[in-house]
Amino acid sequence: MSNTRTIMWFRQDLRLQDNPALANAVACGEILPLYILDDVNPGEWKMGAASRWWLHESLSSLNESLGNKLWVLKGDPALLLPEFIAAHAITNIVWNRGYEPWQVNRDIQLKTNLSELCAVDSFNGAMLWEPWTNLKGDGTPYRVFTPYYKNSIKTPPERTIVNVKPQAIDICECTQPANKIDSLDLIPPVQWHLSLAQHWQPGEAGAFVQLEKFIDDGLANYKTGRDFPSLNTVSRLSPHLHFGEISPNQVWLTAMGQSANAPEHEIEHFQRELAWREFSYYLLYHFPSIPNQNLHSQFDRFPWLEDPQSLQRWQAGETGFPLVDAGMRELWQTGYMHNRVRMIVGSFLVKNMLNHWLDGARWFWDCLVDADLASNSAGWQWVAGSGADASPYFRVFNPHTQSLKFDGAGEYIKKYVPELKGLSGKDLHDPSSAPAIVLAGAGITLDKDYPRAMLDLKQTRERALEAYATIRKPKIS
């Protein structure tokens, strides 16, 4: 029997399978599994309400997999870990690396300080390509996805799945009370999370259920189907990947092995989307200010508007534009929003409403179960035009034409905006322009049963283009 005792510090890797740090800890001997809720170091980007609910459920699942032997603490690891190491006669501590700026800074200091107390090691348990391994010939980071991706797949990392049998893990007893996870106070006081539970199964087992469902129902029509929000063709794996309930290795390799069930081009397109997730982390690592600052500095001069009442209407799904409202209500009811719709509601906020992209990023951060600092920051800067490989300034999504194209029968709209079920065709997608007799026949009075459109799309598009033109001109000092 080994006399080593290793802390397996779980972070965004809440799984047993394909967990390099856990495999290393188990090979060393007795392990003490630990999770620390760190609300100190993230600053303003500590987890939002939806993510905290998911974390509560995921920790409960992990704790069950570990025979109720997971330790949980709350606070600054820099203060908690030295005390914990001394109290439990720890000889080693291992973890899987994080890539958010606050995680990088925290972990560098921790590694230095803890190495005086015990052996310390970290691993890659979250990325296909770690951010420092994929640079241009001159050693600088890519800012455009396509060359980044082409270079990545030329030199793919070694993708081997490391599995651990739960019965083979030698785990220390945990003396914390049975309600230890409840003591983290992760469940929000407003009970809206109860609706989230109807749509998700957090935890490692739930991740594999969702992966299997996607392989069976979505992968074969992924490239085209992923644009239609009423179809069941997107993976919905993003929250599971964010919390590390499944590794990107596992998802990548599972998709790669489906050539008998899905065309190769569909598999490649899905893998390309996994690489977009990687690219977001890559950008965050190399440009750590993007959660709060424009990557392209000329956007610092952009004439954003502040209109709290309009922002509240957007948040509530009361804009008078059915596809926008459906997306915002899906977000509130499920903690998720279809990717095509995310682009449309984002464009509406920053281009038609001229609200700062940070207003959208912060709302998504609180409401999304897959709230991810890298993807959220890169995605909103893409929509605004201020980020890497961004949507061009002149691309303003028209929610009417987008809904006609991608939700022609209105299945998605009617699901989340049920007051419009009596409408069809163009009237459903643009009720503010529908004849009064049609609205009356559907039992709809504008601004009573459903809001009138809060803005004019043509006028606000022109206003947005004029605003973008001001920052493309040289600044006169």
Catalytic residues: 273, 276, 304, 339, 357, 380
Give the residue among 45, 43, 47 at the shortest CA–CA distance from 58.
47
Q: What contacts 2, CB < 8 A, 6 or more positions away? A: 28, 29, 30
Token output for 413: 């709209």
For residues 77 and 67, give the distance between their C-alpha atoms in angstroms, rounded to a whole number: 24
Helix axes 322-334, 357-367, angle to 10 degrees: 40
Q: If 0-12 CB within 10 Å is exposed, 13-18 middle and 19+ buried, where does residue 277 land?
A: buried
Q: What type of residue is 176?
A: Q
Q: What contacts 85, CB < 8 A, 6 or more positions away? A: 7, 93, 114, 117, 118
Three-state SS annotation for the chain: CCCCEEEEEECCCCCCCCCHHHHHHHHHCEEEEEEEECCCCCHHHCCCHHHHHHHHHHHHHHHHHCCCCCEEEECCHHHHHHHHHHHCCCCEEEEECCCCHHHHHHHHHHHHHHCCCCEEEEECCCCCCCHHHCCCCCCCCCCCHHHHHHHHHHCCCCCCCCCCCHHHCCECCCCCCCCCCHHHCCCCCCCCHHHHCCCCCCCHHHHHHHHHHHHHHCHHHHHHHCCCCCCCCCCCCHHHHHCCCCCHHHHHHHHHCCCCCCCHHHHHHHHHHHHHHHHHHHHHHHCCCCCCCCCCHHHHHCCCCCCHHHHHHHHHCCCCCHHHHHHHHHHHHHCCCCHHHHHHHHHHHHHHCCCCHHHHHHHHHHHCCCCCHHHHHHHHHHHHCCCCCCCCCCCCCCHHHHHHHHCCCCHHHHHHCHHHCCCCHHHHHCHHHCCHHHHHHCCCCECCCECCCCCCHHHHHHHHHHHHHHHHCCCCC
Q: Confirm if 167 and 411 have CB atoms less than 8 A apart.
A: no
Q: Confirm if 40 and 29 have CB atoms less than 8 A apart.
A: no
